[in-house]
A and B are shown apart, each in its own frame.
Chain A
């Protein structure tokens, strides 16, 4: 754990940094592939709707585990088909978990149901206590589907409102929503491709995922917002600040996801291996996939996307440029110091020179070589009226608060001390 924590600290300090934002096209590509697969699966294969939606009958016989075999299932299939009940002509019989066999037929009427029950009991030798059945009509399915859909839509609307109210910024909201959509699509895709049945429990799981996915995104975006609040001070571009935020919250995100996934994993395990099919399995699978994808999307999709969107803002672009210029300065503090060349034009840029001569002139070795190249101190193209950066400072000298007079005491101008009452408001 020590190492992991150490990593946590390094991530926090930015000593170790995974470039989540920089490689965003890679993540986009991965997600695009996943989504494409999901959509193709959805279109090509379609979702396997459970009987709750389609209507039908399902009989579950609880048997001792040594009896839950393919043979029993095959036998059962023949016996049920032999009842002559039309709707049960081609039953789907599967083993479910290690303690039950599942028989699914189309919707049955009461007599048909009785016949099938008899056949099942006779075939397996189970007692009526061991038999569970659900018979769900089409109207119920319609009702469920309708309600699920309404629930989904209402929840999405509420979530959009919530996100908007929480982030108060449409770019964050959009990024969060895209991440949500991404999670849902991939989860649905997993459902399609794994062949799991979609039941009301699945829809429930899907709705719950929305919450979880949003949770991760909220955590990351909170940190992004915190880090980018003061870009001027931190001398970072927006992308860097965001990347740092992701790195800083990475340990937390992973931890919360693990902690959330553990119980869901327990449910999934029990649901799949002990009970076979049923609401537990459906719920847990949706939750498990959704949470995992939610972690991925908050780190790899939401934040890069946010950086993308923010990158279009003028203020962000400017501050990014500023940060880059500063970084250049920091890398080589003297890069902008004019160098002397023999063929340098005399008085090429008197304005630039003035500033130089005023304060930093003492540092310059060739003080007398007044004609300096305009190189680093020339006004940047495109910003003619901007004040040139001070060499070696990386920032513009702030206007003095009080009168400035020449003093040699520290080799540069010093503000004079004034009584507080005369200084005026800052």
Chain B
């Protein structure tokens, strides 16, 4: 039996080391030999957003918010920022390596949605020579613009009205791109259309450009609108001082005749490269010069409708009558009135109004009907995702979840990070070294087993940390290092329990070989119980802890599991194996199992000294 247990032990050892080798093979494949360091060890900024109580935090919403935040952060020119959800309430933005406190504002900014009226627009990448010459820009890059939204009035919540009944006019010529018309159908205005549902008939052939037979009289085909050809110049060159520029507080007149200062600002402005948000101060009480994501710049009036006056926005999937996705808007009373005023003013002209989100124009449609019921619909060649994004942006102020307004912000300077890293490593070395030394001194020969086990455990831990940082995004933080160090104690504890058991068994008169096995049977249960508690603690901590403490829990949990693996598949087989050697089983002075160390007068195992003989194998059965 002893022999078979030795071969079994040998097999276990071989298997264990092959697993270890496979782990390192995987690490080599993954190709990174240093673990991903947490922010506190490499420096950086961490901002944690906490969803407000009662916020509608479904995992989908959180993920949506995460995506939006990621876009926002990346849009602000930060490289390598990581935005991740944590638990069910947190979104963590991490910028490694740099102190970017300024990001807080970008992130904290609850998207401000405003409706303004467009006074001028031009290709923002080139400074137009004259505001009145829109065709410059338009010919430049007409094809960039994928699809332009068209706003149509939705007479009701149902999808049917979304069908563009009429396309009023081609888009404002000053726009450099072939901006699609803003078709606004108003319920009242298109009574005929709505009452005589022309759903089937009209919608299919063209999308936003179809001329609907119903109410749309006299308007040009919208398809033409897509061409660059400006049909008309909507904005006049300001006649300096001629009529005395209207006050900015009267936006509808002001846009016809913007003041000098704004125009100068407009002319001087140039848009940032695509993909980046323009850095503007979105003050609702001032005219705004800004861009949309395609690089068109706009001179906008003061805000006329605030995003807060929008009560609802939603996605309207394609219907029988309309093959494209649309975004429905619903204003409250105040918003409806104001929007009605805008639509009255803009109706029949080619002037646009702009939907401005956080200082960026997300859409600048024209109006093709007065809208007084506060219900509108934006169509364009949206994909479902685009439409949903837009709807969400409009509805939630960009984020589907409301977050607490005082997010914790932590920045760690590189100097501190360096200190912490070296401190963590130092603590680890001291801890590991001291434990090894203690075990060596106290357990002598058995201490070597502790040494080997600890090193194997360390190797395994390192491999797992590398693998996990590669696959699961685990980052090694200071508490994580602390967890690993504390786990050294836990791991060594198992060995102490086991060795003391072996000694006890030998004091009871068993030979080492027997003691190794019987002691194992008893120590195993104790260790399982102890590790179960540790694991329990780690899991509970991991679930409930917020922030960096998670790293500690994770490290503790991993180490506990590794402890079990090493204990079962390395230490025990190793001892079974070593019990064959005379050095140990005859109680050499340095083996840690000598009569003197055990405190007994004579080793009971003397007859086992003849290793390999079959006689002592009987002892194994005892």
In the complex with contacts A147-B546, A162-B533, A133-B441 CB distance below 8 A: no
Task: Return the CB mask of A196-212 against B: 1 if under 8 Å, else 0.
Answer: 00001101100110110
Measured between beta carbons, the chain A residues less than 8 angstroms from B552 are 201, 204, 283
Residues on the A chain within 8 Å of B423, using CB: 270-271, 274-275, 280
Interface centre among B89, B104, B478, B537 (most CB of A within 10 A): B537
A139 touches B404 (CB 8 A): yes
Among A10, A204, A251, A263, find the residue whose CB has the most chain B CB atoms closer than 10 A.
A263
Closest to B439 in A: A259
**B263 at interface (Cβ–Cβ under 8 A)?**
no
Whether A1 lies near B416 (C-beta < 8 A) is no
Give the chain B neighbours of A261 by CB distance below 8 A.
489
Interface pair A207/B540, CB less than 8 Å apart: yes
A5 at interface, CB cutoff 8 A = yes
Question: How far is A5 from B405 in the complex, measured between Cα atoms in Å?
Answer: 62
Indicate if the CB atoms of A148 and B409 lie closer than 8 Å. Answer: no
> Which residue in A136, A147, A159, A264 is a CB contact (below 8 Å) of B408?
A136
Contact, CB under 8 Å: A211 / B533:
yes
Q: Indicate with 1 or 0, residue by residue over B510-549, a CB within 8 angstroms of chain A CB atoms.
A: 0000000000000001100110111011001101111111
Is B544 within 8 A of A148, CB to CB?
yes
**B598 on interface, CB distance cutoff 8 Å:** yes
Complex Cα–Cα for A222 and B599 (A): 23
Check if A110 is an interface residue, CB within 8 A of chain B. Answer: yes
Does B299 sit at the interface, judged by CB under 8 A? no
Known: A9-B598, A275-B419. A256 touches B493 (CB 8 A): yes
Nearest chain B CB to A63 CB, angstrom units? 9
CB distance B479 to A279 under 8 Å? yes
A98 to chain B, nearest CB (A): 10
Given A6-B599, A159-B536, A264-B486, residue A62 in contact with residue B427 (CB < 8 A):
no
Q: State how many angstroms separate the Cβ of B247 from the closest Cβ of chain A.
A: 31
With contacts A129-B414, A251-B500 known, is A274 near B426, CB below 8 A? yes
Main secondary structure of the interface of B (DSSP, over half): helix
Cross-chain contact A262 with B540 (CB below 8 angstroms) = no
Query: Does B435 lie within 8 Å of A151, measured CB to CB?
Result: no
* B549 and A263 contact, CB distance less than 8 A: no
Closest chain-A Cβ to B6's Cβ sits at a distance in Å of 27
Q: Mark B441-482, 1 if CB is under 8 A from A, else 0.
A: 110100000000000000000000000000000000011001
Q: Does the CB pair A201–B435 fall under 8 Å? A: no
| Chain A CB within 8 A of B610 CB | no
**Does the CB pair A140–B407 fall under 8 Å?**
yes
- Tell me, in angstroms, the Cα distance from A154 to B536 when the chains sit together: 10
B105 close to chain A: CB less than 8 A: yes
Q: Which residues of A contact B428 (CB under 8 A)?
A: 266
Query: Is A270 within 8 A of B430, CB to CB?
Result: yes
Contact A132/B416 with A2-B596, A222-B526, A263-B431 known, Cβ cut-off 8 Å: yes
* A219 & B536 in contact (Cβ 8 Å cutoff): no
Q: Is A49 an interface residue (CB 8 A)?
A: no
In residues 274-333 of chain A, which contact B (Cβ within 8 Å)? 274-275, 278-280, 283-284, 287
Contact status A278-B544, CB under 8 Å: no
A391 in the interface (beta carbon within 8 A): no
A262-B489, A266-B434 known; A147+B413 contact, CB < 8 A: no
Q: Does A166 contact B (CB under 8 A)?
A: yes
Contacting residues, chain B, for A1 (C-beta < 8 A): 441-442, 444, 597
Cβ B496 vs Cβ A259 within 8 A = yes
Nearest CB of B to A180, in Å: 11
Bound Cα distance A148, B545 (Å): 6
Q: Which residues of A contact B546 (CB under 8 A)?
A: 143-144, 147, 200
Chain B contact patch, size range: 35 or more
Give bound CA distance, A275 to B423, whole Å: 7
Most chain A C-beta atoms within 10 Å of own C-beta, residue among B406, B430, B540: B540
Residue of B nearest to A158 (CB): B536
| Contact (Cβ within 8 A) B488 A263 | yes
Report B-chain residues with C-beta under 8 Å of the C-beta of A91. Answer: none
User: Would A131 and B547 be within 8 Å (CB), given that A1-B441, A9-B600 are in contact?
Assistant: no
CA separation between A291 and B578, bound complex, in Å?
A: 33
With an 8 A cutoff between CB atoms, is B492 at the interface?
yes
- A contact residues around B442 at 8 Å (CB): 1, 255
Q: From DSSP, what is the main secondary structure of chain A's interface residues?
A: helix
Contact with A along B585-600 (1 / 0, CB 8 A): 0000000000011111
- 594-620 of chain B: CB within 8 A of chain A: 596-600
Does any Cβ of A come within 8 Å of B20's Cβ?
A: no
In the assembled complex, B165 has its CB within 8 A of some CB on chain A? no
Tell me if B420 is interfacial: C-beta within 8 Å of chain A: yes
**Contact indicator per residue, chain B 81-125, by CB within 8 Å of chain A (1) or not (0):** 000000001000000000101001100000000000000000000
Interface residues of A in 123-143 (CB under 8 A from B): 128-140, 143
Interface positions of B from 245 to 285, Cβ below 8 Å from A: none
Q: Which of B383-440 contact A (CB under 8 A)?
A: 404-417, 419-420, 423-424, 426-428, 430-432, 434-435, 438-439
Asked whether any CB of chain A lies closer than 8 Å to the CB of B503, the reply is: yes
Cross-chain contact B537 with A138 (CB below 8 angstroms): no
Contact (Cβ within 8 A) A278 B420: yes
Give the complex CA separation of A301 and B490 in angstroms.
Answer: 23
B354: Cβ under 8 A from any A Cβ: no
Instruction: Report if A100 contacts B (CB, 8 A).
Output: yes
CA distance A155 to B492 in the complex (A): 24
Known: A263-B486, A274-B423. A55 touches B599 (CB 8 A): no
Q: Which residues of A contact B426 (CB under 8 A)?
A: 270, 274
Give Cα distance in the complex from A154 to B539, angstroms. Answer: 11
In the complex, what distance in Å separates the CA atom of A248 from the CA atom of B412?
Answer: 50
B50 surroundings in chain A (CB, below 8 A)? 139-140, 143
A155-B537 CB under 8 A given contacts A99-B419, A280-B478? yes
**In the docked arrangement, what's the CA distance between A120 and B423, Å?**
25
Bound form: Cα–Cα A136–B410 in Å: 8
**Chain B residues, CB < 8 A from A110:** 104-105
- B57 CB to closest chain A CB, in angstroms? 13
Residue from B431, B489, B504, B530 with most neighbouring chain A CB atoms (10 Å): B489
Closest to A270 in B: B427
Contacts of B417 in A (CB 8 A): 132
**Which residue of chain B is the closest to A222 with respect to CB atoms?**
B526
B444 surroundings in chain A (CB, below 8 A):
1
A154 and B404 CA atoms in complex are apart in Å by 26
A137, B407: Cβ atoms closer than 8 Å:
yes
The answer to the question of A28 belonging to the interface, with a C-beta cut-off of 8 Å to chain B, is no
Interface string of A14-29 (1 = CB under 8 A from B): 0000000000000000
Q: Which A residues lie within 8 Å of B420 (CB)?
A: 275, 278, 280
A60, A147, A203, A207: residue with the most chain B Cβ atoms closer than 10 Å: A207
**Residue contact B533 to A215, C-beta cutoff 8 Å:** yes
CB < 8 Å neighbour of B479 from A55, A100, A201: A201
User: Contacts A154-B540, A218-B526 given: A274-B431 contact, CB under 8 Å?
Assistant: no
- Pick the residue among A10, A100, A133, A208 that contacts B556 (CB under 8 A): A208
**Cβ-based interface call for A105 (8 A):** no
Which residue of chain B lies nearest to A216 when distances are taken between CB atoms in the complex? B530
Given A137-B407, A208-B556, A262-B438, 4 other A-B residues pairs in contact with their CB atoms under 8 A: A210-B537, A252-B500, A270-B424, A280-B479
Please list the residues of chain A having a beta carbon within 8 angstroms of any beta carbon in chain B: 1-2, 5-10, 12-13, 55, 60, 62, 99-100, 107, 110, 113-114, 117, 128-140, 143-144, 147-148, 150-151, 154-155, 158-159, 162, 166, 200-201, 203-204, 207-208, 210-211, 214-215, 218-219, 222, 248, 251-252, 255-256, 258-267, 269-271, 274-275, 278-280, 283-284, 287
- 28 of the cross-chain contacts (CB-CB < 8 Å) are A6-B599, A9-B600, A13-B507, A55-B406, A60-B413, A100-B416, A117-B101, A131-B99, A132-B410, A132-B417, A133-B411, A143-B89, A144-B546, A147-B545, A155-B540, A158-B540, A204-B541, A208-B534, A210-B537, A256-B496, A259-B439, A263-B427, A264-B486, A264-B489, A265-B434, A270-B430, A275-B423, A280-B424
* Closest 9 pairs (CB-CB, A-B): A137-B406, A9-B599, A151-B544, A263-B431, A260-B489, A266-B431, A62-B415, A266-B430, A6-B599
